[in-house]
C-alpha cells in the first residue's frame, strides 16, 4: 500500500532530479524551444517541496492536488498548466483514502494523463510529454521499474519525430533529430517513483 509519505517522497525525489538535470533540460530546450524548461520546472518543484513541508497534507490525493496547484501557480508557460493538471487530476482520482494500491495509482495516473491530452490536445507521436507518460502508465501495472524504463525509452523515441504541438512545432521538419525536453522531464517524474518506493 502507498501512503501520503510515499507520495511526498515521490515529489521531493522529483524535485531533486529536476535540480540535478535542470541544465540538461534547458540544453534540450535550446534547439527546439526557448531554453528554459529546466529553470521553469526547478522553480515549480521548489515551490512544491516548500508547500508540502508547510501544509503537510495527509492523504495521497491531497499531496498530489497541492503539488499540482503549486505548479500551476509558479511555473507558467505550457509546462505549468500541463504538469499541474497531471498531478491535480491524478490526486483527485485518488480521492481521500489514506492509502492506495499500486493498481489505484495506475488508474489515477491514467486519468491524469488523459486530462493532459485533453488540455494540450497532444496525442502519442506528437513529440511531447505524452510520449513518455502513456507508455509509462501502460507499464506501471507491471512495476515502477518497468514504468521508469518505458518512460525513458519513450523520451528517447521522440528524437526522430517531428513536433506537432507546442513551440517546437513551429520548426516543422527542423524539430526532427532532437529529444523532446517535456518527454525527458516526464521520464524524471516517473523514474522518481522507483526511488520513492526504495526499490
Partner 1 sequence: MRMLINVAETVVADALRGMAAAHPELTVDVDNRVIVRRDAPVAGRVGLVSGGGSGHEPLHGGFVGPGMLSAACPGEVFTSPVPDQMVRAAAAVDSGAGVLFIVKNYTGDVLNFDMAAELAEDEGIRVAKVLVDDDVAVTDSLYTAGRRGTGATLFVEKIAGAAAEEGAPLEAVEALARQVNENSRSFGVALSACTTPAKGSPTFDLPTGELELGVGIHGEPGRERRAMMTSHEIADFAVHAVLDDLAPRNPVLLLVNGMGGTPLLELYGFSAEVQRVLVERGVPVARTLVGNYVTSLDMAGASVTLCQVDEELLRLWDAPVKTPGLRWGV
36 binds partner 1 (CB under 8 A): yes
Kindly identify the residues of this chain, within the stretch 122-161, that bind partner 1 according to CB under 8 A: none
Q: Which residues contact 47 (CB under 8 A, 6 or more apart)?
A: 70, 71, 73, 74
Q: Is 35 a residue that touches partner 1 (CB under 8 A)?
A: yes
Q: Which of 5, 34, 58, 103 binds partner 1 (CB under 8 A)?
A: 34
Tell whether residue 76 is a contact of partner 1 (CB under 8 A): yes
Query: In the set 60, 61, 166, 181, which binds partner 1 (CB under 8 A)?
Result: 166
CA–CA separation, 136 and 108 (whole Å): 13
Told to check if 77 binds partner 1 by CB under 8 A, we report yes
Asked if 108 touches partner 1 (CB under 8 A), the answer is no
Spatial distance between the Cα atoms of 65 and 88, rounded to a whole number of angstroms = 4
Helix ranges (H only) for the chain are: 4-32, 37-55, 60-74, 79-94, 102-120, 130-140, 144-156, 181-196
* Closer residue to partner 1, CB minimum distance, 9 or 88: 88
Which helix or strand (DSSP H or E) is residue 3 part of? strand 2-3
By CB under 8 A, tell whether 119 contacts partner 1.
Answer: yes
Contact between 106 and 141 (Cβ < 8 Å):
yes
Give the residue, chosen from 169, 176, 195, 197, that forms a contact with partner 1 under the rule CB under 8 A: 169
- What's the min distance (Å) between Cβ of 121 and partner 1? 9
Amino acid at each position: 500500500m502507498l501512503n501520503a509519505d510515499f507520495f511526498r517522497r515521490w515529489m521531493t525525489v522529483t524535485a531533486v532530479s529536476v535540480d540535478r538535470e535542470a541544465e540538461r533540460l534547458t540544453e534540450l530546450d535550446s534547439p527546439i524551444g526557448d531554453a528554459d524548461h529546466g529553470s521553469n520546472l526547478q522553480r515549480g518543484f521548489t515551490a512544491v517541496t516548500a508547500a508540502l513541508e508547510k501544509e503537510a497534507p495527509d492523504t495521497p490525493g491531497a499531496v498530489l492536488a497541492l503539488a499540482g496547484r503549486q505548479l500551476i501557480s509558479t511555473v507558467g508557460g505550457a509546462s505549468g498548466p500541463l504538469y499541474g493538471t497531471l498531478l491535480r487530476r491524478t490526486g483527485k482520482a485518488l480521492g481521500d483514502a489514506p492509502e492506495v494500491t499500486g493498481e489505484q495509482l495506475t488508474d489515477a495516473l491514467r486519468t491524469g494523463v488523459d486530462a493532459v491530452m485533453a488540455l494540450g490536445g497532444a496525442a502519442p507521436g506528437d513529440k511531447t510529454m505524452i510520449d513518455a507518460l502513456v507508455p509509462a502508465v501502460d507499464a506501471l501495472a507491471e512495476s515502477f521499474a518497468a514504468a521508469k524504463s518505458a518512460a525513458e525509452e519513450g523520451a528517447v523515441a521522440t528524437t526522430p519525430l517531428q513536433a506537432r504541438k507546442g513551440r517546437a512545432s513551429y520548426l516543422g521538419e527542423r524539430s526532427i533529430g532532437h529529444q523532446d525536453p517535456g518527454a525527458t522531464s516526464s521520464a524524471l517524474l516517473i523514474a522518481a517513483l522507483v526511488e520513492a518506493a526504495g526499490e
